[in-house]
């Protein structure tokens, strides 16, 4: 077991901080040393806020010295995906169109972490506006997978995933619109949770596809995931889509006992196109849960094959509307051209990257006169069917268990020339977003090349507790989550 | 062909994107392929199916019209590409 504090869990560090064996300032400095030593190779961070972090660590130390022990996050260094607004710290969404943008307030999830005493170290790289599955669409940097620097970390929360895997933070926040927490978690061998739509406030999260976006934790084990979720979950009057339902004690769900729990295995998710090692590892993972007493049944998601098409119509449509606000008038660089419209057009053309333009174009097209019914309305109807399929599969079990992704991390540049191919790699994660369900990815093995594999656990609406309980029991039965990359 | 070069130009205007000729051509090809794939949805019978715009049931959420945040004019305006005192400078919009 490692003793390097950069690789310890929140729960272990909390004990050390509480006993004053280590101060929050010392811990924060250790993390910055680790970042300095490794981030030239990985490029997980877009911005480091050293001064603010040390100040926050000093405040945490003062609270600890005053005997405060209630918050497990007190003094814990975290990384934040650059889609989350941070008061006084540059937030660009990895887009040139927000170059230098400094928000005047914190998003709610960030605010709640800060109130709990967490220490934000910096902002992590991502696909521009969270559009992508490899973090290669960043307007600023290419992030590399800590397990193999020739491979992508996944996306769009690739910077957060790489930072957690490489010990450059203790935990991180990401966002998941079509798999953007779970897929990079799977590719980087860490734990990632997409909460139920409405569980975590989207206030202060730069919008990509508003009916799908959700903030969630990325951590090295399930216990830390539960602690992070506890801090950020709950109703927020500032987000009208956040839902006012009670937040349970997530740590209490981590009993290790899954006897009699019913898990559904969706036959379609194993039907085609899985890398053999992925299928093998996930099937082995399901057997582990069975050995622990869970009851396994087959379930069917008969129309999952249509999820990619429905998702990319809906997400692109919402994106084209949300991104209309970037016009070079109130923030970001302005490219002056003849009149107002020409200035809009030039500023947007210079500010947005390739993939963002592609999705704005696609979204504008499917919403335009003559095509709305054929594409957008059709996709919304298919969304109803996909949600019904998920609910019907979940009616006979407590959770669904499946691979997170069809493959392990692909190579840099392997998919960039074929956008549709990249979209299709999201096939196992996006139905969850369309249906608004919670889903966890936990490490469940490695392929022959030494790249991590993730197992996905999908739960019912607002039942993150069950998903975490299964993930924890699985984790305790295996050692995968203790492996560290050599970087 | 699902989408013509002319339609690409039209959509780019609607989206307020000044696309170079080569960008338009590349996008026409890419969008064509993507839209062709989207046609897969027509295999599903959706007659009588209600469209879903939101995964959780939402109703209007109302709140009292009360100011809860402090104005931070300077912090906001520091992000402006062009500024004149406490105002944003923008191109002329009325002839």
To the nearest whole Å, the CA of A25 is away from the closest chain B CA by 29
List the structure tokens of A85: 């607004």
Residue A60 sits in a domain of what CATH number? Answer: 3.90.1300.10
User: What's residue A1's pLDDT?
Assistant: 46
A180 catalytically annotated: yes
DSSP string, A370-407: TTIIIIIIHHHHHHHHHHHHHHHHHHTSSEEEEESSSS
Closest chain B residue to A337 measured between Cα atoms? B91
Per-domain boundaries in chain B: 5-42
**pLDDT per residue over A3-40, tens digit each?**
799 999 999 999 999 999 999 999 999 999 999 999 99
**What percent of chain B is predicted at pLDDT more than 70?**
100
- Sorted by sequence, the CB contacts under 8 Å of residue A472 that are 6+ apart come out as A222, A223, A226, A253, A254, A255, A256
| N-terminal to C-terminal alpha carbon distance within chain B | 41
**pLDDT per residue over A438-469, tens digit each?**
999 999 999 999 999 999 999 999 999 999 99
Q: Is A39 helix (H, G, I), strand (E, B) or coil?
A: helix
The complex scores an ipTM of 0.96
**pLDDT per residue over A367-384, tens digit each?**
999 999 999 999 999 999
Of A85, A176, A81, give the one whose Cα is nearest residue A437. A176
- Sorted by sequence, the CB contacts under 8 Å of residue A100 that are 6+ apart come out as A90, A92, A332, B79
Inspect the interface and report whether the beta carbons of A357 and B76 lie closer than 8 Å. no
Residue A378, chain B, CB below 8 Å: the answer is yes
| Chain A neighbors of B38, CB-CB under 8 A | 309, 312-313, 366, 375, 379
Of A97, A88, A82, give the one whose Cα is nearest residue A43. A82
The closest CB to that of B41, out of A102, A382, A437, belongs to A382
Inspect the interface and report whether the beta carbons of B11 and A381 lie closer than 8 Å. no
Catalytic residue, from A23, A138, A180, A201: name it. Answer: A180
In-domain check, residue A226: yes
In-domain check, residue A472: yes
Residue A94, chain B, CB below 8 Å: the answer is no
What is the C-alpha to C-alpha distance for residues A311 and A466, in angstroms, rounded to an integer? Answer: 26
CATH of B5-42, one of 3.40.50.10260, 1.10.20.60, 1.10.10.60, 3.40.710.10: 1.10.20.60
The closest CB to that of A384, out of B33, B51, B79, belongs to B51
Total domain count, chain A: 1
| DSSP tag of A269 | G
What is the C-alpha to C-alpha distance for residues A359 and A163, in angstroms, rounded to an integer? Answer: 28
In-domain check, residue A12: yes
What integer is the mean pLDDT of B52-59? 85
Q: With cut-offs at 50, 70 and 90, classify the pLDDT of residue A2.
A: low
In-domain check, residue A106: yes
């Amino acid at each position: 077991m490692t003793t390097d504090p950069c690789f310890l869990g929140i729960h272990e560090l909390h004990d050390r901080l509480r006993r004053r064996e280590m101060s929050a300032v010392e811990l924060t400095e250790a993390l910055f040393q680790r970042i300095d030593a490794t981030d030239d190779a990985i490029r997980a961070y877009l911005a480091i806020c050293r001064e603010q972090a040390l100040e926050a660590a000093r405040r945490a130390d003062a609270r600890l010295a005053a005997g405060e022990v209630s918050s497990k996050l007190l003094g814990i260094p975290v990384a934040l995906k650059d889609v989350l607004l941070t008061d006084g710290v540059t937030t660009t969404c990895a887009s040139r169109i927000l170059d230098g943008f400094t928000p005047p307030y914190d998003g709610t999830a960030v605010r709640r972490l800060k109130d709990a005493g967490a220490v934000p170290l910096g902002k992590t790289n991502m696909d521009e506006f969270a559009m992508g599955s490899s973090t290669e669409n960043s307007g600023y940097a290419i992030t590399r997978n800590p397990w193999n620097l020739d491979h992508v970390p996944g996306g769009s929360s690739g910077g957060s995933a790489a930072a957690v895997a490489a010990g450059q933070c203790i935990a991180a926040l990401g966002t998941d619109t079509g798999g953007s927490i779970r897929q990079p978690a799977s590719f980087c061998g860490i734990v990632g949770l997409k909460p139920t739509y409405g569980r975590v406030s989207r206030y202060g999260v730069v919008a990509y596809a508003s009916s799908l976006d959700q903030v969630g934790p990325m951590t090295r084990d399930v216990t830390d995931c539960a602690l992070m979720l506890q801090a950020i979950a709950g109703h927020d009057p500032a987000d009208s889509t956040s839902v006012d339902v009670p937040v349970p004690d997530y740590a209490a769900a981590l009993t290790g006992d899954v006897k009699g729990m019913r898990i559904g295995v969706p036959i379609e998710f194993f039907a085609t196109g899985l890398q053999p090692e992925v299928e093998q590892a996930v099937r082995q993972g399901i057997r582990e849960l069975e050995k622990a007493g869970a009851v396994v049944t087959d379930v069917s998601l008969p129309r999952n094959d249509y999820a990619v098409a429905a998702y990319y119509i809906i997400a692109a449509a919402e994106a084209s509307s949300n991104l209309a606000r970037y016009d070079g008038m109130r923030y970001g660089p302005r490219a002056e051209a003849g009149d107002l419209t020409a200035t809009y057009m030039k500023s947007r053309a210079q500010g947005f990257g390739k993939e963002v333009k592609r999705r704005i174009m696609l979204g504008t097209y499917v919403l335009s006169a003559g095509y709305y019914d054929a594409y957008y309305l059709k996709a919304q109807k298919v969304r109803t069917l996909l949600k019904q399929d998920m609910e019907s599969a979940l009616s006979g079990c407590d959770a669904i268990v499946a691979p997170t992704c069809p493959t392990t991390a692909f190579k840099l540049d392997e998919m960039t020339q074929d956008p549709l191919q990249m979209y299709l790699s999201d096939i196992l994660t996006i139905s969850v977003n369309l249906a608004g369900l919670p889903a966890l990815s936990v490490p469940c093995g490695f392929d022959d090349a030494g790249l991590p594999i993730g197992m996905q656990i999908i739960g019912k609406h607002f039942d993150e507790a069950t998903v975490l309980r299964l993930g924890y029991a699985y984790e305790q039965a295996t050692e995968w989550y203790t492996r560290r990359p050599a970087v | 062909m699902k989408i013509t070069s002319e339609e690409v130009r039209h959509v780019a205007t609607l989206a307020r994107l000044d696309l170079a000729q080569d960008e338009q051509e590349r996008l026409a090809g890419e969008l064509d392929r993507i839209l062709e794939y989207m046609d897969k949805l027509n295999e599903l019978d959706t007659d009588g199916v209600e469209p879903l715009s939101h995964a959780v049931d939402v109703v209007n959420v109302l709140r009292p019209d009360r100011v809860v945040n402090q104005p931070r004019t300077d912090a906001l305006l520091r992000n402006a590409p062009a500024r004149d005192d406490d105002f944003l400078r923008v191109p002329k919009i009325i002839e």
